[in-house]
């Protein structure tokens, strides 16, 4: 069975069921994943490190009858979450080869669910940009078209799943970083509710960022969320617990929905016709399934929105660079140690006062309240995932003479995603369509803390327009 070319493209839950039943050995499955990584990674560059011996040893400890939901299933972890004994690079030269001394909460929970970590995946330096192309590791390529980006910041994870190197991969999302690679690579990418998944043991809460996974199916995403969700002792904030497992809600018919469709971006950006049409077609599909659908304009075009987001986002990502210096000589970084965009953001943050950050946060909180109040009339908002096709990598090279211009370019590529990070609500990108041989995602925004209900809508669309069998050429 391990010789089957489609083995690693099967749903993670299905693979776990085969291992549990004794029809497929965990070592056999993990070995198939490692073989696929060895074969595909040289071209795609999705992995920072691969743990051959460690992963096989962990697989040997999994036996038939293991009741854990994902026992024996290989998974990759984005290289911005600590794993004891392994390099934590953040995609940055400044981190050197520092090896973590602890496991991040998501790593602990993935292992507790039975996953076997086979390696860590690439990301843009400090997770800043929505494409994965770094000075340190080079370009991560899209299995659908290697000249194009697989997205970011979870670009390595997106490429790894799309190419069938692993059936599921860890991701996180501070401005779209799970949904963007999902849209680029033809995958399901959920941004859960703010503070749904603990950031233990590092920080107690995050206004923008939350962890998650990239998968091929809605059911895998829901079950993985059940495995990852929940607070840890010492968290400063956490999302309210669901009344039942997310997977249970996701598998249930959602009832008649009130749906708003919009193709107008929150910031000034051109939206390609194929991206706008994907959102409209998703709305039409929901209407054909009996739901109440109308085109509407959310109040999300606040003057200065992009600037306020940058004033909050930049200090959060540059905090990682400051922490990197604490791990070494404690001196401030230099321009030679950082990519131009990161250095420009470092200088921007260095010139800010604490008042600037608080004012930006307050403005964004007011914006979020207004948008969520408007959305109370709807169950779901449907919008494009991206404004354009996955960008050509050589048009967004990390070496640039206009770093803030390249940073602004990232917003034009992804104008719809960061809104959900500001409001905290769940949002998901679904690979409903294709155009010119590339995936086209539609994005659904759900009600606050209602990931299960949002995934139920996603499952409805998945059943009506299945996508799991689609494969890029490199898979």
Catalytic residue set:
78, 153, 177
DSSP 299-365: S---TTHHHHHHHHHHHHHHHHHHHHHHTTT-PPP-GGGS-HHHHHHHHHHHT--HHHHHHHHHHHH
Distance CA 411, CA 409 (A): 5
Residue 255 in contact with residue 460, Cβ under 8 Å?
no
Pairing verdict, β 169-173 and 47-50: unpaired
Pull the structure tokens for residue 387: 């404004």
- The pairs formed by 396-402 with CB atoms below 8 angstroms and a separation of 24 or more are 396/129, 396/131, 396/133, 396/149, 397/133, 398/125, 398/133, 398/134, 398/135, 398/339, 398/340, 398/341, 399/135, 399/339, 399/340, 400/340, 400/341, 401/340
Residue 405 in contact with residue 340, Cβ under 8 Å?
no
Distance CA 296, CA 280 (A): 11
Q: Count Cβ atoms below 10 Å from residue 207 Cβ, excluding itself.
A: 18
Distance CA 93, CA 325 (A): 11
Residue 275 in contact with residue 281, Cβ under 8 Å?
no
DSSP designation for 104: -
């Amino acid at each position: 069975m391990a010789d089957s070319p489609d083995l690693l493209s099967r749903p993670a839950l299905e693979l776990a069921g085969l291992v549990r039943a004794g029809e497929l050995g965990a070592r056999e499955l993990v070995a198939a994943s490692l073989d696929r990584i060895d074969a595909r990674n040289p071209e795609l560059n999705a992995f920072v490190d691969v743990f051959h011996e460690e992963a096989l040893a962990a697989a040997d400890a999994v036996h038939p009858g293991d009741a854990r939901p994902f026992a024996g299933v290989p998974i990759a972890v984005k290289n911005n979450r600590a794993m004891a004994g392994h390099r934590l690079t953040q995609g940055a030269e400044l981190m050197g080869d520092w090896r973590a001394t602890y496991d991040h909460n998501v790593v602990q929970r993935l292992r507790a669910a039975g996953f076997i970590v086979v390696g860590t995946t690439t990301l843009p330096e400090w997770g800043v940009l929505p494409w994965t192309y770094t000075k340190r590791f080079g370009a991560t390529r899209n299995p659908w078209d290697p000249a194009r980006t697989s997205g970011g910041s979870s670009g390595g994870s997106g490429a790894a799943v799309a190419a069938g190197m692993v059936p599921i991969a860890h991701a996180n999302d501070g401005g779209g970083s799970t949904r963007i690679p999902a849209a680029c690579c033809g995958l399901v990418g959920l941004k859960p509710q703010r503070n749904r998944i603990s950031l233990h043991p590092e920080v107690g809460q995050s206004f923008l960022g939350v962890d998650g996974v990239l998968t091929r199916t809605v059911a895998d995403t829901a079950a993985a969320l059940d495995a990852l969700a929940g607070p840890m002792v010492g968290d400063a904030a956490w999302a309210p617990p669901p009344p039942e497992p997310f997977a249970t809600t996701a598998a249930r018919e959602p009832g008649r929905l009130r749906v708003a469709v919009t193709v107008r971006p929150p910031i000034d950006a051109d939206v390609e016709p194929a991206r706008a049409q994907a959102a409209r077609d998703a709305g039409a599909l929901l209407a054909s399934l009996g739901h109440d659908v109308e085109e509407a304009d959310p109040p999300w075009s606040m003057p200065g929105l992009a600037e306020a987001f940058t004033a909050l986002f930049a200090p959060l990502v540059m905090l990682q660079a400051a922490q990197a210096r604490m791990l070494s000589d404690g001196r401030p970084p230099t321009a030679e140690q950082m990519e131009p965009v990161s250095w420009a953001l470092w200088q921007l943050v260095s010139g800010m006062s604490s008042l600037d950050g608080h004012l930006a946060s307050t403005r964004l909180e007011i914006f979020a309240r207004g948008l969520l109040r408007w959305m109370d009339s709807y169950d779901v908002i449907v919008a494009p995932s991206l404004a354009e096709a996955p960008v050509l990598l050589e048009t967004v090279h990390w070496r640039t003479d206009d770093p803030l211009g390249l940073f602004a370019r990232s917003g034009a590529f992804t104008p719809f995603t960061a809104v959900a990070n500001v409001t905290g609500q769940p949002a998901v990108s679904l690979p409903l369509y294709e155009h010119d041989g590339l995936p086209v995602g539609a994005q659904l925004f759900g009600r606050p803390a209602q990931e299960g209900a949002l995934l139920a809508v996603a499952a409805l669309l998945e059943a009506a327009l299945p996508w799991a069998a689609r494969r890029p050429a490199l898979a």
